[in-house]
Amino acid sequence: MSRQPSSFPPLFLRLPTVLLCLHILAFDLSNTEHCYDTGNFTAASGYSNSKNRELVLSSLPCAMASNGGFYTGNVGNGSDVVYMLSFCRGDSSNDTCIRCISATAVDLIIKCPNQKAAYSKGTYNLPCFIRYSDSPMYSMKKTFLTLKFYRTSDILMDQDQFDWIWRNLTEKLAARASMTLDLKFAAGSTVLPNNQTMYSSLQCSPNLSQGDCQSCLGNALMIIKDVAMED
């Protein structure tokens, strides 16, 4: 027997947040930046003296512009090396991307002045993502999410029907995002029987393979559904 119509958790009306699947990255989407406590550098350290962090962050806007909104690389040698990963949301214009990257790079230096590892998702409506570290970030895959939900209104309809519509939309977008060759991003919408619209956007770190991206997004969607249904 079909369940009676009920008020859905806030997530299911709208998915305003891009899902991220990353190698060794964990972005808390409810905060602008996070300074890791994995170690600090001092004015006397080679890491600080080489200015590699400032060098790679200041060069990001140009690097991103010439690489289609995605950059990964490192600067320095030995204990002075800085690893960097940065990308913009897939539907950002080039101008929005570069502006976000420029502002976020400066903000990271101000907010995380002594940390050897940090990340930020930027402050623009269409976010950009920067993470730097003194250790490699690409040696293994690890996925976990911190989620932020928004309630815009409730949906009153059959839960099984709504679940099927949500799953159908997000699974199609996950497949599409994983197959793109640039920023591994997909966005879409579908109209519900009550004429409300469901929106969703998904994105992987662009350096993930198609298989890893689709698997990661699939796991992320399962987490979102489980968390939302607990509310």
The answer, as to whether pTM is greater than 0.85, is no
Residues 188 and 167 in one domain: yes
Give the per-residue pLDDT at 188: 94
As a whole number of angstroms, the distance between CA 191 and CA 197 comes to: 5
Residue 138 counted as domain residue = no
3-state DSSP percent of the chain in helix, strand and coil, to 5: 35, 20, 40
CA dihedral 43, 48, 53, 59 (to 10 degrees): 90
Give the per-residue pLDDT at 176: 95
Residues 82 and 166 in one domain: no
H-run or E-run covering 118 = strand 118-120
**Number of domains forming the structure of the chain:** 2
Give the per-residue pLDDT at 135: 82
Torsion sign, CA atoms 107, 112, 117, 120: negative
- Where a domain ends, among 98, 133, 168? 133
| pLDDT one digit per residue (tens) for the chain, 231 residues | 433 333 333 333 444 334 455 433 333 444 466 787 766 655 555 555 447 888 888 889 999 888 889 998 888 877 778 899 999 989 989 999 999 999 988 888 888 888 888 888 876 666 788 988 888 876 445 554 545 555 556 667 787 888 899 999 999 999 999 998 888 999 999 998 888 888 888 988 888 889 988 888 888 888 877 766 655
Which residue range forms the structural domain that includes residue 48?
Answer: 31-133
- Where a domain ends, among 94, 113, 133? 133
Residue 26 counted as domain residue = no
| Phi-psi sector, 195: left (phi>0), alpha (psi -120 to 50), beta | left
DSSP output for 41-96: --TTSHHHHTTHHHHHHHHHHHHHHHTTSEEEEEESSGGG-EEEEEEE-TT--HHH
CB atoms within 10 A of CB 70: 20
Residues 169 and 104 in one domain: no
Give the per-residue pLDDT at 172: 95
Give the per-residue pLDDT at 23: 37
Residue 115 identity (one-letter amino acid): Q
